[in-house]
Amino acid sequence: MAVEPKNFGFGEDETMLRDSARKFMSDHCSTDKLHSLVASDYQIDRDNLCLWDQSLWQQIVELGWPAVCVPEANGGIGMPLVAAVALAEEIGKAGFPSPLLSIFNSTFVLRACDSAAAHQALASIAGGKTMTLAITNAAGSWHSDHTDVEVNKDGSLTGNAYFVQDARKCEQFLVSARGDKGVGLYLVDASASGLTLIPDSIVDLTRDQAHLSFSDVAAVEMASPGKGSDAIANAIPAILCIVSADMVGAGEWLLQTTVEYAKTRIQFDHPLGFFQAVKHPLVNVMLQIDNAKSLTYHAASAFDHVPENAERSARMAKSEASDMAVFSSSRAVQFHGGIGFTWECYVHLFFKRQMHNQVMYGDAKYQRTHLANSIMGPAD
């Protein structure tokens, strides 16, 4: 029987990777810098720009982070999911705008495709190329079988993909499209003709998102019709772990920042944290972060070691992390008082990232509905 390691698979390599990421983020990606990068223009009708630090990204590529979960056979580092989870947590803690998490998601979908073309695509990630998933329809369904893109007879794609994450940071799209025998997966170059990218105007300032419109766009098949949806479904636990880890990191930033404020802001002759109406909810935020964190590590280690438990564990993690994301961000704004309601205060950056995160790939209730159906049987 397969078993999970006691340390969730965080060996020396994984811990070293995490520690170096932590240092890199604190050296290069302070919240000060983040705010001046993404929040210099507060106006609601500002130009819809994709704001990210590409030179920093080049350094990250050189550090090899995008390749951590690409198999060694494809030129990657071949680390387990927990490595990506460790990095995602640090990315979330810094609110760092980058395509890294989209690359991880794509990596796990490609790994599940297991075709020669998918191996080549993985090699392109190892070579530093960026990629994101375009697998969501207009209704925002998270189901692996739902898509508004179709495969034409000649193998080109026509239709629309929505809610595509980090779209303007990515050079390639991994697109789910319906063929004669079901949903397949296709790789499309961002510069392909017939492809139109329509940026969404989104709440979260640390990301970009777009709607892609395909009109006879050339594509390379990664998984044939019918097999693509299976590949997505197989990768979903990994995807849920990665977004959960981002929420855990962002949650910790919100907690520590609010705790710091509650230690220094004096009202009624006491620091705010003296008052239990502030102290106790902050403790509750901490409890929820710890739950989400342990569940996320557990799910990632299940994905790596006991795959049959991965989906359940990952849905538990995403459920808890999503609830935590909402709670940690709401308490952070509330306990900062009037200043927390301003654009100038950094809290809204993470508030918005959490609100975006919590809905990605299904919010907390959505995950629990899946869990209930699988554990209690369907409701009458």
Partner 1 sequence: MAAADRKDTTEQAEFRKQCQKWLKANHPGRPPVQLPQGALELSDPAALQWLQQWQKSAYDGGLIGCDYPLDVGGGGKENCQGIANQEMQKAKTPYLPNIIGMGMAAPTIFFHCQDEVKAELLPKLLSGEEIWCQGFSEPGAGSDLANQQTFAEKDGDNWVINGHKVWTSLAHFADWMILLCRTDKSDKYNGLSYFAVPIKAALGKGVTVQPLIKMTGQTGFNEVLFDNLVISDRYRMDDVGAGWKVAMTTLAHERGAGPLVTPASGGMAIEEESGVSAGNIGSLISLAKQQHRGSGRAADDASLRDEIMKLMIRQEALRQNSRRAGVPELTDHPMRIPLQGKLVGTELNQDIAETAYRIEGAASTLYVNDPNAPAAGQWPLAYMNSFGVTIAAGANEIQRNILGERVLGLAKSK
CB of 361 to partner 1, least distance (A): 17
Distance of alpha carbon 228 from alpha carbon 175, whole angstroms: 9
Q: Does 290 bind partner 1 (CB under 8 A)?
A: yes
**In the range 306-365, which residues lie near ligand FAD by CB under 6 A?**
334-335, 337-338, 341
Q: Which stretch binds partner 1 (CB under 8 A): 65-73, 146-154, 170-178, 291-299?
A: 291-299
Cα angle 369-374-375, degrees, rounded to a multiple of 5: 100
CB of 57 to partner 1, least distance (A): 27
Q: Does 277 bind partner 1 (CB under 8 A)?
A: no
CB of 271 to ligand FAD, least distance (A): 10
CA 62 from centre of chain: 21
Q: Which stretch binds ligand FAD (CB under 6 A): 37-45, 172-180, 208-216, 273-281?
A: 273-281
Q: Does 149 bind partner 1 (CB under 8 A)?
A: no
Distance of alpha carbon 327 from alpha carbon 331, whole angstroms: 6
Q: Which stretch binds ligand FAD (CB under 6 A): 65-73, 111-119, 263-271, 343-351?
A: 263-271
Q: Which does 49 bind (CB under 5 to 8 A by kind): partner 1, ligand FAD, none?
A: none
CB of 334 to ligand FAD, least distance (A): 5
- Give me the 302-341 binding string for partner 1, x by CB under 8 A, dash otherwise: -----------x--x--xx---------------------
Q: Does 264 bind ligand FAD (CB under 6 A)?
A: no
Q: Does 4 bind partner 1 (CB under 8 A)?
A: yes
Q: Which does 335 bind (CB under 5 to 8 A by kind): ligand FAD, partner 1, none?
A: ligand FAD
Number of residues that bind partner 1 (CB under 8 A): 48
Number of residues that bind ligand FAD (CB under 6 A): 13
Distances (CA, A) of 75 to 17, 70, 120: 18, 7, 10
Q: Does 366 bind ligand FAD (CB under 6 A)?
A: no
Burial of 306 (0-12, 13-18, 19+ CB in 10 A): middle
Burial of 145 (0-12, 13-18, 19+ CB in 10 A): middle
Question: Nearer to partner 1 by C-beta: 81 or 118?
Answer: 81
Return the residue of 40, 153, 268, 308 that touches ligand FAD, per CB under 6 A. 268
Question: Nearer to partner 1 by C-beta: 185 or 259?
Answer: 259
Question: Nearer to partner 1 by C-beta: 133 or 299?
Answer: 299
Q: Does 265 bind ligand FAD (CB under 6 A)?
A: yes
Distance of alpha carbon 354 from alpha carbon 131, whole angstroms: 22
CB of 288 to partner 1, least distance (A): 9
Residues that bind ligand FAD (CB under 6 A): 265, 267-268, 272, 275-278, 334-335, 337-338, 341
Q: Contact residues for partner 1 (CB under 8 A)?
A: 3-8, 10, 15, 255, 259, 262-263, 270-271, 273-276, 278-280, 282-284, 286-287, 290-295, 297-298, 313, 316, 319-320, 365, 368-369, 371-372, 375-377, 379-380
